[in-house]
Structure 1
């Protein structure tokens, strides 16, 4: 690779895209080849260093967006214009991010490639911390985490959150284990079937969310369980089966028919249920957890429940860890895990199951209209769910065993095999645009192939590719919100991009409809669904909340990351891609001039901020995810001019 985009002069048009090498990891051989050797020790040291630096960066990302930007304590400037910079940076030729922490009488300083009003910085030096004695020193993740937690404690008037510090440490350890185990740390191969590509994309998220303080935290797993069950280890799992009385079962389906029979066909478990009983699949870790609980032990002792062990086909754990993909890609099973992964315990609450099916029911009547308008958009249906209600809870109408009952819940979701049969290669968007250097490596190669195959200069090819992707994602999602009052949750991990053979984005697929919300425009559609009061309360939201969900998930969590990844530290290209986005938003309004769309989009084009979720703040405050604060995030849309893809 010859030309680095980050080093281009304004008039250069590169023929090749810079490939950024993953520090310390690019040239590592597989760990298993060097067991108990000095080489293996070097690998572990390198991955530990990388994991720690990655967490130092995401902590800085979070604090910059959620605190320093909001309090106007952040600036990016040339080193010559920086007051009393670290001595180590005196000869540094680039710009530095300078963050003041007045509550702590401290300051952070780090080299960055360019200004980023959205906080998508590319860090180029060590991070330096100035203490209250004005002394500078290189800061590692622990010093940065301690400083940030202490600062937030003073700001919020709360005790020091030692749990968060521990969760950050757990996340670092998990990331290191995952990096140590990688056979091919620099990226996925451009070989294999469409299904193999998709599975690799699901199982290759090495760094995780770039704006989450604990992107790989999994509280409750041992190191052995981590290796056995984590998708990043490339594992396949047999499911564990239990038999329960039919009268304990609650379920609903769209048109699956006999759900236990459908599950038997999907899993090929070959087990026969006793009369008036049902066989349910569980994640094997979840089965172990459930069988340790007193109420479940009592059910087993009474003969009401039987542990039937592992059986049937293998499934692939996907990026969410608890959702399993069938071997042939024909279906997903979203299982329960009573394990904290990043923010939440990942079991399937009953109202979440009902909401997922309600969203699918609401979408079905407009599916034909959506296909006519947006033939390259698809929402994976949640086809059925099943859960458990113990007899005593049913009789008392009081869920004293809610955690256990929800621990059996599962959702049957439409698979991707029909998409692949149409020549589409699906890939989870987070594997490309929310996956650190590994994702950037893959995107760099993808864009180069695309430009070459279409006979385009790289810069033009990138504009065309991005514009195609952004239209695929934005148009149908905005139409659903503004015309129908339906707000999906199209963040990076819920979005799948379908690639054509020539590397053109050809399909945008949204999955996981559990957290779909309905604005007042759609509230009249709810009564026929006969939802319980709790589910109805969860699924309904205001116009403002609906916009916040889409603006954050689609524009901040998704499109912002796409732009940052493609720009790869080049500020001119970064602004060009924002200009492409401005064109796309204006073109949407020309096609669909809904008054609400006009108000929201013209607001963005005039410089109104986007909403950004406070991932750091909610973890610090130990609040439920649904209580997350959304903060203003400014962006370049109001200051860039439209750009032609012919540039």
Structure 2
């Protein structure tokens, strides 16, 4: 047993390091230097050459690192038009054209790449901690792999909503630190990580209404909605309900237990408790499950999910709710209840928006941050009303921990076997079905009302029926954007819309965000998974997207500028996750959503 555990730890470390290097390399080649493609493999004298089985290009990518005066050499296992390449390990180095090939350790390669990045940013960032964040992310992935209990990869390969949400062991495949969590201790990681199947009770603060800020688009106030949830919770004792859940001058605010511990150490909170305005009521009730975002909590019998503030830095951003985020949820609910939402649902009944109809927060007129706050999110996936397979696109596309097929590939192979149809045809049919329920509704909403939804893979949830796409859910109202050109129309339908939300932009900015999230991140990412799973060629699906866009260009003529960019531009906008991390940019706090660190990548639609 001891030897088995040692072997498992070594395998987890190797997988985590290689996944981290793959992310770093793909980000570096996309955002910093594409390097040069060489038609032949390069290997050290004592290495066995890589065996190619399905790459579109053999050979390697070689990139010069000026600060180290050396070449980095990555032999290709799969070369992608989209830029999400797969590599053979180990990665190699060479210090001159005539020098021997060397084989650094995985950690050595990570340090080499990150130190090159720090050198690049030396004039802007004097105390760059990117290496620490990369290593922390890598170690967290290793821990998730070591202690995994992958129910989704045993027996049923899909499962219910929370199983899928807690299955993201690797995270964003084009991010250098997808699993970094600055502020978590090792115990915190174990207690609160969705990847480790954690579950815990909510902490509660009782706050005098005079220092509460709340809003609701429902018939009930946020205060009453939360008290009703507690009253319906059979695991909360009757004494607590009688003391704190009736109508009075106080509100209850559920808080993530990590955040509660953090808040109780803050002098401002201690002062409010001493003055009697605030009371901490400890943890109570049902055990909630963290979803993939870590701070949004779910229970299959609750009417709401709770999106909470957490004063930790997850990937690039401190996850404390901002006032603009609170306001956006109310705006989106108003949109969905207006003629905009009614027309959307009438035309596209299989496209649904998960709304955030209420919030409550400790009021602070001197800050945009809301460390004691919660957004109430509709729970579409209650056990009483959702028995279907429901999964986010990012979870569907993620490679499993055993380095075998993604869940998407397993779905396609399952359909192929049971329908006795080719993998090619099933893949094409599945992708056509997905575009049918996702792409046109998003284009329609932007065309008619100037509303752009940032439908990246994590915000896109798919309900499958007979393993094919059936309904598309968009979540996270933070990622709604409104175009200035449509302001008069929107204001006539929903007066006062956009006040305080900081999400109204010029067309050029909107379309950068829209193209990156929907096309580069979402659709191109899915295409890459089909191709790397050996199901269908990237070019065929890219050609299908191109043909669909040509047809939509005729239908939505006012979006001709957007379609021209997609169909004709040599480069497409792409969020630079590596540069955003390198320059330590907090995207949530920034008034302009990551735009300074957008880069431009080759448009893969021009290759077909």
State the TM-score, normalizing by the size of structure 1. 0.84
Give 2:539's aligned residue: 575
1:631 aligns with 2:599: yes
Q: Look up the SS of the partner of 2:478 in the other structure.
A: coil
- Rounded to whole Å, the distance in 1 between the matches of 2:602 and 2:154 is 34
How far apart, in 2, do the equivalents of 1:452 and 1:599 lie? 43
2:37 alignment counterpart? 76
Number of residue equivalences: 580
More divergent stretch after superposition (138-147 vs 196-205): 138-147
State whether structure 2 residue 315 is matched by structure 1 residue 342. yes
Pairing of 1:52-91 with structure 2 (within 5 A): 52-69=17-34, 74-79=35-40, 86-87=44-45, 91=49
How far did 1:369 drift? Answer: 1.2
Are 1:266 and 2:229 counterparts? Answer: yes
Contact 2:22–2:86 (8 Å) recurs in 1: no
CA distance in 2, matches of 1:107, 1:89: 18
Corresponding residue number in structure 2 for 1:521? 485
Q: Is the 8 A contact 1:179 1:185 kept in 2?
A: no
Kindly state the Cα deviation for residue 67 of structure 1 after the two structures are TM-superposed: 0.8
Aligned-residue offset at 1:153: 3.9
**What are the ranges of 5 or more consecutive residues in structure 2 without an aligned counterpart?**
52-57, 588-592
**Structure 1 stretch displaced more, 471-480 or 556-565:** 471-480
- 1:431 is matched with which residue? 395
Secondary structure of residue in 2 paired with 1:514: helix
Instruction: Report whether the alignment pairs 1:184 with 2:150.
Output: yes
* Equivalent of 2:163 in 191, 194, 200: 200
Instruction: Please point out which of 565, 574, 577 is paired with 1:612.
Output: 574
- Asked whether the 8 Å contact 1:256–1:383 carries over to 2, the reply is no
Shift of 1:523: 1.8
* Conserved? CA contact 1:607–1:637, under 8 Å: no
CA displacement at 1:89 relative to structure 2: 6.5
Contact 1:608 1:634 in 2 (8 A): yes
1:375 aligns to 2:361 (yes or no): no
Summarize the alignment of residues 228-243 of structure 1 with structure 2, pairs less than 5 Å apart: 228-243=191-206
Which residue matches 1:29?
Answer: none
SS at match of 1:68: coil
Distance 1:234 1:359 in 2: 31
Partner of 2:262: 289
Query: 1:464 and 1:411 mapped to 2: Cα distance?
Result: 38
1:54-113 CA deviation, whole Å, 9 max, x = no partner? 1111110110110113xxxx2333217x7xx65467844642122233454221112213
Look up the SS of the partner of 2:218 in the other structure: coil
| Partners of 1:348 and 1:409 within 8 A in 2 | yes
For 2:547 and 2:328, locate their aligned partners in 1 and report how far apart those are by CA, in whole Å. 35
Match of residue 80 from structure 2: 116
User: CA-to-partner distance for each residue in 1:367-425, whole Å, 9 max, x for gaps?
Assistant: 221122222111111110111115xx4xxxx33xx55xx11111111111389847642
Distance 1:295 1:603, change over 3 A: closer
* Structure 1 unaligned residues grouped into runs of 5+: 1-33, 641-647
Deviation (angstroms), 1:228: 0.8
Q: CA deviation at 1:198?
A: 1.2
Q: Alpha-carbon deviation of 1:320? A: 0.1
Residue 300 of structure 1 corresponds to 273
- Indicate whether 1:150 and 2:123 are aligned: no
Aligned mate of 2:457, from 461, 484, 492: 492
Q: 2:296·2:308 contact (CA, 8 Å) conserved in 1?
A: yes
- Structure 2 Cα separation of the partners of residues 131 and 621 of structure 1: 28
Equivalent pair of 1:206/1:435 in contact (CA under 8 Å)? no
Cα pair 1:56 1:140 within 8 Å, conserved: no
Range that drifts further, 60-69 or 412-421: 412-421
Query: Once the 2 structures are TM-superposed, how far is the Cα of residue 468 of structure 1 from its aligned partner?
Result: 1.2
The one of 51, 59, 70 aligned to 1:95: 59
1:560 counterpart = 2:524: yes
1:601 alignment partner in structure 2: 563
Q: CA deviation at 1:188?
A: 5.3
Map Cα deviations across residues 247-266 of structure 1 (whole Å, 9 max, x no partner): 11111111141322211232
CA distance in 2, matches of 1:544, 1:231: 37
Counterpart position of 1:163: 129
Structure 1 residues 512, 101: closer, same or farther in 2, change over 3 A? same
Q: Deviations over 1:428-485 (max 9, x none)?
A: 1111124566683322221012233444211111111112112322111122222211
Residue 144 of structure 1 aligns to a residue whose secondary structure is helix
- Quote the Cα distance in structure 2 between the aligned partners of 1:636 and 1:439: 26
CA contact (8 A) 1:440 1:565 kept: no
Question: Alpha carbon RMSD of aligned pairs, Å?
Answer: 2.6
Deviation at residue 557 of structure 1 after TM alignment: 1.2
Q: Give a deviation string over 1:118-142, Cα, whole Å, max 9, x none.
A: 2111112321122358442223443
Q: TM-score, normalized by length of structure 2? A: 0.89
